[in-house]
Amino acid sequence: MTTSEKTPLLPYPQTPASVKAWIREQGTSQSALAKQYGFDRRTLADLLRGKLKGQRDEAYTVAVLFGLRKPPRAKP
C-alpha cells in the first residue's frame, strides 16, 4: 500500500508544531514513520521545518497524511 492510499493519520488542519507534538506523544521518530509509510525522512523533516510547502509529489502526499494539507476531494 502506498502513502497516497493511506488514511490521514491526523485530521486537517494541523500545524508543524502540532505534528511534532503528536510524533513525540506516539513515542516514535520521523525516521520510523517514514520507514513505516514508505517515504523519505527528509520530506517530513523539511515539511516540519517549513522548507517544503507540500504542494507537489511526495511532499503533498506526506502533508496530507499528517494533516498539513487538505485531502483531495473524491471524484463523483
Number of structural domains (the chain) is: 1
CATH number, position 33 = 1.10.260
Mean pLDDT for the chain overall: 90
Q: Which of 33, 22, 14 is nearest to 43 (CA)?
A: 33
Cα 72 from Cα 76, distance rounded (Å): 12
Domain containing 56 equals: 3-65
Cell numbers representing residue 55 in the block: 504542494
pLDDT for 36-67, tens place per residue?
999 999 999 999 999 999 999 999 999 999 99
Cell numbers representing residue 6 in the block: 493511506
27 has a pLDDT exceeding 50 = yes
Cα 24 from Cα 11, distance rounded (Å): 17
- Rounded to a whole number of angstroms, the CA Rg of the chain reads 12
Q: How confident is the model at residue 29 (pLDDT cuts 50, 70, 90)?
A: very high
Q: How confident is the model at residue 3 (pLDDT cuts 50, 70, 90)?
A: low
pLDDT of res. 5: 57
Q: Is residue 73 part of a domain?
A: no
Cell numbers representing residue 22 in the block: 503528536
